[in-house]
């Protein structure tokens, strides 16, 4: 099973990243709402904070649609509340097409965000040793590398961009509409190939590059989770402090 340990790492990194992302968004919105006491101002501040990520998210949809010759319509970077209570920070109207192109267009923000995080982590922040120390449970090295990060050149800028873009790179529910039927077709094709006797060939030839791919995605989610994890506790403390000062709490 070592040939597919990348899939395990992917699942282990994705779950905490999603949890930390949602927790961080709640804390930021709560802080803004306590400070302004105006939901519309809170929404505007929240969208401004994440604008680099929202811009890249929607731009990637637009460019991928153009590359795949799919018509596009209106777009917006103005936030708006949705009927389900969620906040939509932006959108691009893209025509429906086949499930393959729909899936690729829906995945575009994750591709663009992942490429940016890989560049920022490797070139600008040199976070790869930090990730390797964490993955290998070398925690003394991990904490030492973590403490030296703020001394790096342009660290605040690249840390902020990594945070804003990683926090908005996950495809939305509408972006994922075509994933289920496409995934079902892929699983069915693999099952048919394995039943036909190609299981050993796929394990020897397809599993290794696929495992490398899973490990790469896992490292992106792991670094994103680490960035969010660093910010969660300070923002939680700020939230509690503001609640104590103002007597106003936002759950």
Can you tell me whether residue 91 is helix, strand or coil? strand
The stretch 149-161 carries a mean pLDDT of 86
* pLDDT band per the 50, 70, 90 thresholds, residue 82: low
* pLDDT band per the 50, 70, 90 thresholds, residue 78: confident
Higher pLDDT, 29 or 152: 29
Least confident of 7-21, 121-135, 190-204: 190-204
For the chain, the first-to-last Cα distance in angstroms comes to 43
C-alpha–C-alpha distance, residues 159 and 21, integer Å = 15
Question: Is the per-residue pLDDT at 242 higher than 60?
Answer: yes
C-alpha–C-alpha distance, residues 27 and 237, integer Å = 10
CA angle 161/77/57 to nearest 5° reads 50
Task: Give the count of beta carbons closer than 10 Å to the beta carbon of residue 20.
Answer: 20
The stretch 185-209 carries a mean pLDDT of 72
The stretch 51-69 carries a mean pLDDT of 93
Predicted pLDDT of residue 15: 92
Give the chain's length: 251
C-alpha–C-alpha distance, residues 95 and 99, integer Å = 12
Predicted pLDDT of residue 209: 78
Tokens (6 digits) for 170: 């996950």
Can you tell me whether residue 80 is helix, strand or coil? strand
Question: Is the per-residue pLDDT at 213 higher than 80?
Answer: yes
* pLDDT band per the 50, 70, 90 thresholds, residue 2: low
Predicted pLDDT of residue 69: 92
Q: Give every CB contact of residue 48 below 8 A, 6+ residues apart in sequence.
A: none
The stretch 235-240 carries a mean pLDDT of 93
Can you tell me whether residue 130 is helix, strand or coil? helix
Can you tell me whether residue 69 is helix, strand or coil? coil
Burial class (CB in 10 A: 0-12, 13-18, 19+), 118: middle
Q: Give every CB contact of residue 59 below 8 A, 6+ residues apart in sequence.
A: 112
Minimal CA–CA distance to 170: which of 117, 232, 226, 95?
Answer: 117
Task: Give the count of beta carbons closer than 10 Å to the beta carbon of residue 58.
Answer: 20
What pTM was computed for the model?
Answer: 0.85
CA angle 26/28/29 to nearest 5° reads 65
Buried (b) or exposed (e) across 45-57, using 16+ Cβ within 10 A? Answer: bbbebbbbbbbbb
Predicted pLDDT of residue 83: 66
Least confident of 15-29, 66-80, 135-149, 191-205: 191-205
Question: Is the per-residue pLDDT at 9 higher than 70?
Answer: yes
């Amino acid at each position: 099973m070592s040939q597919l340990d990348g899939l395990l790492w992917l699942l282990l990194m994705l779950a905490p990243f999603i949890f930390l992302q949602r927790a961080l968004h709640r804390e930021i919105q709560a802080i803004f709402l306590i400070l302004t006491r105006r939901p519309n101002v809170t929404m505007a501040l929240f969208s401004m904070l994440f604008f680099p990520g929202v811009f890249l998210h929607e731009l990637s949809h637009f460019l991928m649609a153009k590359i795949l010759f799919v018509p596009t319509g209106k777009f917006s970077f103005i936030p708006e509340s949705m009927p389900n209570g969620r906040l939509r920070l932006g959108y691009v109207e893209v025509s429906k097409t086949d499930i393959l192109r729909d899936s690729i267009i829906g995945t575009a923000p994750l591709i663009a965000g992942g490429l940016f995080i890989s560049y920022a982590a490797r070139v600008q922040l040199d976070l790869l040793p930090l990730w390797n120390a964490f993955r290998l449970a070398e925690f003394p090295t991990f904490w030492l590398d973590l403490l030296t990060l703020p001394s790096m050149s342009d660290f605040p800028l690249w840390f902020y961009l990594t945070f804003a873009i990683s926090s908005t790179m996950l495809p939305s529910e509408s972006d994922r509409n075509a994933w289920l039927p496409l995934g079902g077709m892929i699983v069915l094709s693999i099952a048919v190939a394995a039943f036909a006797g190609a299981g050993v060939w796929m394990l020897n030839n397809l599993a290794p590059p696929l495992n490398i791919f899973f490990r790469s995605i896992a490292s992106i989610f792991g670094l994103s989770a680490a960035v969010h994890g660093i910010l969660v506790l300070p923002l939680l403390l700020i939230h509690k402090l503001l609640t104590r000062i103002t007597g106003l709490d936002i759950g």
